[in-house]
């Protein structure tokens, strides 16, 4: 105590960061859709498969070409392997009603855009590029303009931040500003 009065005491401070989340949780491994690229809205997604609108129309014609006016799911599954459950039949019916106006849901298109952006970023990082948030925004907007065509998509800072978190990109590994 006498030393503290005279000012001869050195105070040492340390900071420690504690992560309170569960340390044993591992994210599921990312599975990119290597065979799934929507070059335009001419493709429909049925589960993990991309199907052209022409193939969907062929399935609709087969589905309706009976005296009953429809076919059972088992018949459709055996003829068209990309049809695996009743939801796919419902999607075909929705496509039949709307034809050219039919579009994938915004959520599905955003998932696709996110996966494509991940593939592009992985490609760039493997070749040694350092990427910044503006680069990610540019890549996302380019993918949207060429492939997914999501209306009013802006690749905002918050979207980029949540995208980086969901794909577990950290500043220690890559240069993101």
- Ranking 102-111, 114-123, 140-149, 157-166 by mean pLDDT, the lowest is 102-111
The answer to whether residue 37 sits within a structural domain is: no
What percentage of the chain exceeds 90 in pLDDT? 20
Same-domain pairing of 90 and 141: no
Q: Are residues 96 and 112 in the same domain?
A: no
Domain end: 81, 101, 121, which one? 101
Q: Is 55 exposed, middle or buried (0-12, 13-18, 19+ CB in 10 A)?
A: middle
Q: Which domain holds residue 161?
A: 106-166
Q: Where among 101, 126, 142 does a domain terminate?
A: 101
**Residue 58 tokens, joined:** 């062929």
Q: What is the pLDDT of residue 101?
A: 65
Q: Are residues 87 and 132 in the same domain?
A: no
Greatest CA separation for the chain: 103
Note the pLDDT of residue 75: 92
Lowest-confidence region among 38-52, 60-74, 99-113: 38-52
Helix H or strand E encompassing 137: helix 133-143
Q: Is residue 176's pLDDT more than 50? A: no
pTM: 0.49
Does residue 139 share a domain with residue 121? yes
17 belongs to a structural domain: no
Give the per-residue pLDDT at 18: 53
- Residue where one domain finishes, among candidates 51, 70, 101: 101
Residue 77 falls within a domain, yes or no? yes
- CA–CA separation, 147 and 111 (whole Å): 13
Chain-wide mean pLDDT for the chain? Answer: 78
**Predicted local distance difference test score (pLDDT) of residue 177:** 43
pLDDT of 90-104, one tens digit each? 989 888 887 766 667
DSSP, residue by residue, 1-46: -HHHHHT-------------S-TT--PPPP---TT---SSTTEEEE
- Most confident among 9-13, 40-44, 64-68, 173-177 (mean pLDDT): 64-68
Same domain, 51 and 91: yes
Domain count, the chain: 2
The CA-atom distances, in angstroms, between 6 and each of 1, 12, 13, 38, 85 are 9, 17, 20, 74, 81
What was the pLDDT predicted at 34?
42
Q: Is the pLDDT of residue 139 over 90?
A: yes
Same domain, 162 and 119: yes
Average pLDDT over residues 153-163: 90
Would residue 118 count as lying in a domain? yes
56 within a domain of the structure (yes/no)? yes
Residue 143 lies in a domain: yes
Name the pLDDT band for 36 (thresholds 50, 70, 90).
very low
Same domain? 158 vs 122:
yes
**Same-domain pairing of 111 and 90:** no
Residue at 173 is within a domain: no
Q: Is 92 among the domain residues? A: yes
SS3 52: strand
Q: DSSP letter string over 81-126?
A: TT--SHHHHHHHHHHHHHGGG----HHHHHHHHHHHHHHHHHHHHH
Residues 110 and 65 in one domain: no
CA–CA dist 66, 79 (Å, integer)? 15
């Amino acid at each position: 105590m006498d030393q503290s009065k005279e000012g001869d005491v050195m105070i040492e401070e340390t900071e420690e960061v504690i992560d309170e989340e569960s340390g044993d949780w591992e994210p599921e491994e990312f599975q990119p859709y290597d065979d799934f690229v929507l070059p335009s809205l001419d493709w429909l997604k049925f589960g993990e498969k991309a199907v052209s609108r022409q193939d969907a129309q062929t399935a609709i014609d087969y589905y309706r070409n009976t005296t009953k006016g429809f076919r059972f799911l088992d018949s459709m599954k055996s003829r068209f392997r990309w049809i695996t459950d009743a939801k796919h039949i419902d999607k075909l019916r929705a496509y039949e009603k709307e034809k050219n106006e039919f579009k994938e849901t915004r959520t599905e298109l955003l998932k696709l855009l996110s996966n494509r952006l991940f593939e592009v970023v992985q490609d760039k990082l493997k070749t040694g590029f350092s990427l910044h948030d503006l680069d990610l925004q540019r890549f996302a907007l380019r993918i949207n303009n060429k492939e997914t065509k999501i209306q009013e998509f802006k690749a905002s800072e918050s979207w980029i931040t949540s995208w980086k978190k969901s794909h577990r990109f950290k500043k220690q590994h890559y240069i993101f500003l």
